[in-house]
Amino acid sequence: MDVASLEKISDYAWRVPRSGRMRVPGVIYADEPLLRAMDDKVLQQVRNVAALPGIVGASYAMPDAHWGYGFPIGGVAAFDPAEGGVVSAGGVGFDISCGVRTLLTGLTRAEVEPHKAALAGTLYRHLPAGVGSTGGVHLSEAAMDDMLCRGARWAVDAGFGDVADLARVEEHGAVAGADPAAVSALAKRRQRDELGTLGSGNHYAEVQEVERVFDTAAAAAFGLAAGEVVLSIHCGSRGLGHQIGTDYLTRMVAAAAQHGISLTDRELACAPIESALGREYLGAMRAGINCALANRQVLTHLARQAFAEVFPQAQLRLLYDVSHNTCKVEEHVVGGARRRLHVHRKGATRALGPGHAALPPELRATGQPVLIGGSMGTASYILVGDARSEAAAFASACHGAGRTMSRTEATRRWQGREVVRSLESQGVLVRSPSLRGVAEEAPGAYKDVSAVVEASEGAGLARRVARVRPMVCIKG
């Protein structure tokens, strides 16, 4: 990206001045090397988002930002319905509520290492992965609608996990306002046998060692210590979420003119929050969020069963579950006034600072765990929400390393078998039904996650708590 058109705010923040149809400025959080390495399309998409009706504050891009559908992946924007604000299906994304949950195993690396191959095989058998993967949960029509309304709460009531898990999930396991009637029959049909599956792409279940602790007080509050082992699960709403995105993008494009919306990019198709279409999409999107929360809850139950076969003493207590690819109604201070806004986070993570009432009491003094996935062969990070993040970007942070190249380009550069062998030589066991999928997710296809996380901390979005390294990766 050419930085000549940007105004430097700090070493980690750059302003995109208003121009053309922009209603607010843009802000890109990154250090200069990360910024220069970003695709120029990110800058254009930040500007396009800034032109949407009812946007407040600024159009933001996180340090892991890269080109996406309509919004950049790593984009954050808030809209005020009182000012004609819109909701955009492209601003949420197709994989609605894709997210990460991390579990504490109570095991050390020294305990796991001798049995790592057995654990990898057992996890691979228990966690369905890959394109079109299906699981052992078949949903009737009534169960589907109940799951879409109650999310992880439905899963716990159905025997998948513990009630204690729900305190460590955003929205206590289910977002309010979901409307199963707004979800198409095709979307429900795609999901009927997909609950409790990882899917494909960048989704995974990864056994990780806590390699380094940066903040001992926050780590203690989270139950983390160097040398201990955690399990992270990264997945979303599968076919249902993708179909919701497809269905409503088509409808929003067709309805734009009747709502008086002139789009700079048809991929930014949107509808006024207070319109019938806007309300209908929000109901469907919230159902998609609940689907993802239920999916990760069922996968947690399956992972616990797998661990119990190899390590009966393992605890697998839930540290936290946090989503990206959402639009949530939140209160934020803008221009000195508290306003109720619809905050889009596409490839961005909520990062509530210390004292926030939405956090469980035992985490309130510390702040929200922010779970950042790296790549199969590199580190991932556990961060904590920073008090400065509210003012910086509506209490948001990055969500991962961020791609540097397309999946097609990655398969031109690497062979899946070669990636698997290389990672095994580094002590990382990969199990996947698709060698092409492994090549698409080769570590070299991603940014340096450590640089992304350091920029997030420097910008005041979230602070580093611990770095974790992969030991076993079950890849979709």
Q: Give the per-residue pLDDT at 379.
A: 94
Q: Give the per-residue pLDDT at 325.
A: 97
Q: Kindly list the domain boundaries of the chain, sorted by start residue.
A: 3-475
The CATH code of domain 3-475 reads 3.90.1860.10
**What is the arithmetic mean of pLDDT over 245-264?**
94
**What rounded mean pLDDT belongs to the chain?**
96
Per residue in 381-420, pLDDT tens?
999 999 999 999 999 999 999 888 899 999 999 999 999 9
Report how far residue 278's alpha carbon sits from residue 289's, in angstroms, rounded to the nearest whole number: 16
Angle subtended at Cα 209 by Cα 203 and Cα 210, rounded to the nearest 5 degrees = 110
Show which residues are catalytic.
399
Per residue in 9-19, pLDDT tens?
999 999 999 99
Report how far residue 310's alpha carbon sits from residue 308's, in angstroms, rounded to the nearest whole number: 5
CB 186 within 8 A of CB 448: no
Give the number of residues written for the chain.
476
Share of the chain above pLDDT 90, in %: 94
Kindly report the pTM of this predicted structure: 0.96
**Is pLDDT at 375 greater than 90 in this prediction?**
no
CB 395 within 8 A of CB 437: no
**Is pLDDT at 131 greater than 90 in this prediction?**
no
Crossing angle of helices 238-255 and 276-310, rounded to 10°: 170
Which of the four pLDDT bands, split at 50, 70 and 90, describes residue 128?
A: very high
Q: Give the per-residue pLDDT at 10.
A: 98
Per residue in 92-121, pLDDT tens?
999 999 999 999 999 999 999 999 999 999
Q: Give the pair of three-digit tokens for residue 24.
A: 């607010």
Q: Give the per-residue pLDDT at 132.
A: 84
Q: Give the per-residue pLDDT at 89.
A: 97
